[in-house]
Structure 1
Amino acid sequence: MYISPAELDALEDFRPAVQRALYLAERINGVCMRYVSHHYNNAYAIIDGVKTDGTPFPRNLSFDFNDTYCALTNRSSTDVLHIHDALSYDQTARLKVTELLQIRSYVGAPILLNGSVFFGTLGIAAPEPNAFSAQDAETLKAIAAFLAAAIELEYEHCRHVKAGTYKRAALSLLPEDIPGLVCYSIRMDLYPDWNGMLEEADQAHVEHVLISRLKQYTQRELTLFQLEPLKYMLLMYDDEKPVDKLYAARQLHDHLTEPVKSGDRFIKPAVALGVSEYGEETRTHTLIQKAYMASVRSKATHRAKTVFTPPSAKAASETKSIIARDLPLALEHESFSFVYQPQFHTGTGAFSGVEVLLRWEHPDIGFVNPEWVFEVAERTGMLLEMDRWIMQKAVQNLSPLYQIQPFQVSINLSSFHADPHELAAVIRQTAGKGLIPAEHLTFELTENPEPESTEQLHLFLESLKETGVRIALDDFGKGYSSMSYIQRLPIHTLKLDRTFIQDLDTDSAHRWLVKAMVTMGRRFQLSVIAEGVETGEQLALLKECGCPFVQGYYFARPMPLEELKKKLMMNTYRTAGS
């Protein structure tokens, strides 16, 4: 059990127990200094206490640890530290506080939660030597045990101590107004990759993993509440920078729905997610209730599929205005970055290529939803410049790795609405530099629902034929014009939308669709990549369907360039030629 300073501030009901402990300690020696300290990380604070002259310590007075104080407080031991004469004791003789507070005798009793976890110290000190007997030391130890029990009682009232999360009762400790608060209500179901019942031990293990994942998203303390098994409330807030709520929700969803291995099986969480945010409503408990009800509706309506409650229209509009204002400068100063999603051969597991994904951490907004970046770029006439920078920078970044070990590089193009001649010229220019051969460059396009765009796209792709680059149709099957695209357009690769893969192992209709799309790809001599592969069962079914390439969290998450380089250099990912 570990109690943080923020948690301690919330546990006000244990304060009378501290006062009672100090009163009992005074009975040992009426003129002594007495205090209760709390230890956390590499520091300690005086929770409450009285100096030798009778004046109180400043409340929550904090100090950094040093080796001398660590030895003095005997942090690693459950024993009482009894010093008869501080001037003759090696550790305390060097402490300035010994002279400053006129300490000659000292007894420090550890406050141990659950009998073993060091919380802090109940200490007494006197200005004369040999002020405390062995019996006094035992008495102080008993008082410290009483105080530990009082802290445990209050702490466990609002904490799941073993899980390290707060109980529903702890919600009442929250302030009524928390600027910048975002509430995520999370309801989960667990589906094993087999047809049997989920064992209690498996569920406990999976829930432990899920709680660990949730804790990675807490920005401050007092944030993760476990309302019931598999039902949580995650509170995130930042006074200084607003967060792209939709993007944060997508990140949280992706992280939570990643399959969990328990023994020899995989358990896949299904998530219903409700989100509310500070703004139009400011009362904390109303926001919590709104998020909770949103997750209930999500689960009831969508059968436990993940549903995002997006930010309000006003908040989204304000965020996009900030993006539009700062996009030109961000492009000029190259404030964007990339992560790289590895791709693999389904049959052999060999590394085959990477998809380049754009990221932008805005100084005020935080991580920006890439879809919003491209939407704003199109609206403000910056789309071509964005495409140009992404293509050239991605090829420049990956070229050194390619020279060591050739692989396919897939780059997303943002839209079909850019001038086809200008965009084609940029692609030809990028391919013509020779950093990565044209046949190993794939440009991913998303189908456009407007029928009149197909002819424009056809002209654009025909103009690229001479360059030798490859074209992939992203999110295949999601739109309405998929068949006309593969029949009429000169494309090379189909990328199956992740929504088909997500339920591949539980939905026979999806298995039939995926098999049909893979067969269709082969008929038109197209390569096929399945996105969003998260379980071994999904991989086995894709092999059965004849899908040649895959990408997804089952193999690797998107990663920075240095991490990709490290894995390739260490031969973590076996290549087709190895």
Structure 2
Amino acid sequence: MDRELTARGAEIERASRASKTLSEANRSLIKAIDEKSFLQRMCEVTVAEGGYIAAWIGFARADRTVEIVATRTQLSDEIQRLASTIALRWDDTPLGQGAVGRAIRSGRPCILRLNTLDPAFEPWRSLLEGAGIRIAIALPLTIQDSVAGVLLIHAREADAFQPREVETLGELAADIGFGITGLRLKQRHREARRAIRQVSRYDPVTGTLSRSSFYRRFSQWVRRRRGQDRLLAVVVINVCQFGAVNVAFGYEQGDHILAEIGIRLQALTPEPLAVGRWGGAEFALLIEVAQHHALDDVVEILTQVLDLPVTTAQIELEPETCIGISVYPAHGEHVGQLLTRARAAMERARRLGTRYAVHEGTPEREAARHLQILTHLRTALDDNQLALHYQPKIDLASGRVTGLEALLRWQHPDWGNVRPDEFIPLTEQTRLIQPLTEWTLHRALHDREIMLQRGVDIPIAVNLSSGLLRNREIVRMVAQVLGLHASAGWLQLELTETAMMEDPERSLAILHELVAQGTPIHVDDFGAGYSSLGYLQRLPVDTIKIDRVLIQHIDRDARNAALTRAAVEFAHVLGLKVVAEGVETKAILQRLEVLGCDAAQGYFIARPMPRGDFLDWFEHHDGRFVPPEDST
């Protein structure tokens, strides 16, 4: 009887120690920062609080071995060295028949009692007995729904690991698996954030600045140099024969040329304030100069590096480039305006067959043109010159058309087609943006009702200007158009990152009001703007649209693919859907599906088209896009 009571008391004591171990481990789990220190702490708690001889944590590797990644002992270095010398496997070989291998394969705890004669334990019996170990238990660690490792605990008492103790230690192993899962997920979030920050600052092909970083450099220079007698040259460079290089040698060689030119431009002396790539084969630079006649020196320095041949596909090519220049503040005070004028000068140089050109227009001439456009646009609103074209978005898993983006078009009776990037930015600087947006919302509603008559029930996304987020007028406009239609969820609103970041707090309040009315918010051009990732998490958005700069060449560039995957994973962590825009090839479309993107739009799927043409296209395709077999 006394022996039975003593054994019972010992069992209760060990169960109590296991419970204490579990409690302390849970406290440590809450404080865990990184996986390595967390695993080491779990071993330390197991030995210190549970009174066990040693605790090891090992991971099952693809080669069927088990790697010990954390250990703790209360004995000499002998058992510590044992962790690095003992052979552990989890396959169905003799070295995989021990407690560790069995626990990983079965997903259940496995106890190794050294006083048994089980031949499966023979490879380790002498090693463990020599270290004073009489019993061991291997507890499977479940990480993201699959067994990925073990917690191996050694004890000196031959009768240890009775049912209550094993149950408690099983909870400990489950908590460790949960902790590893959480820490790895946090690490993936951090890596995704770093990748997105990287792509938001730099062009992935050339390593030059992204558009948003380029803009910031300009703003910083203006603030620092204001009032001083210094000028800033804004230079646009185009590699003229780049398209032919892609056709002749492939995109990989084309990217090689762009990367080489980017390296050369960043290594100029004196060093430019900024070098950026503007998509395709166009670069932009900011170069500080003392006076206008110093522009000749700038061009001479540029031509010296641009004229050097580039070796690609074992062939030396001499890049043909055209250069356009505008100057701050003589030709404008805003970076977008200066880039537009430098680009126009570059096009003029190409037409004239000269190497470079400097902007010749005057602010007065530009102002007159802008006033003319705004005056005619007021008339266009009343004279039926405006229209909406629709570009479909498809679900990548099924190919079904799941949405439409409404894009504004202006056909002037005398000027012909007026580009949206010519007139929309002007309206955003005036009160004309409000009636233009109101017209767009009502026309989208009108077209929606005609689509419903043809049996097409698809949400329509309308783009909003940043200026509309400065007051609540957009809330009224949306409420009005929604009140004219019975069905919910048909209207979606798209805003760029930059638009939402101009006045974050005011934007946030208005966005919440719009969402409350039943209009999902989509973030347009994600990855090309100024967004704060922390702020993005606060926005009541439903979907992000990845900018085309992120998905360029993802079918053949591992870096672009990794950045796109990071953006997709980051969005999914926040519970957002992901649409890729600017899809121009079958290979990119297929790669996006592999990377986990939800939907896509782009010229490969369909170009923007009038309502009637879209309905014909939709019916012809039975509402589903299937890439042609011979498409590229």
Task: Find the structure with the greater CA-based Rg.
Answer: 2
When you count helix as a share of all residues, which structure comes out higher? Answer: 2
TM-score (norm 2): 0.43
TM-score (norm 1): 0.47
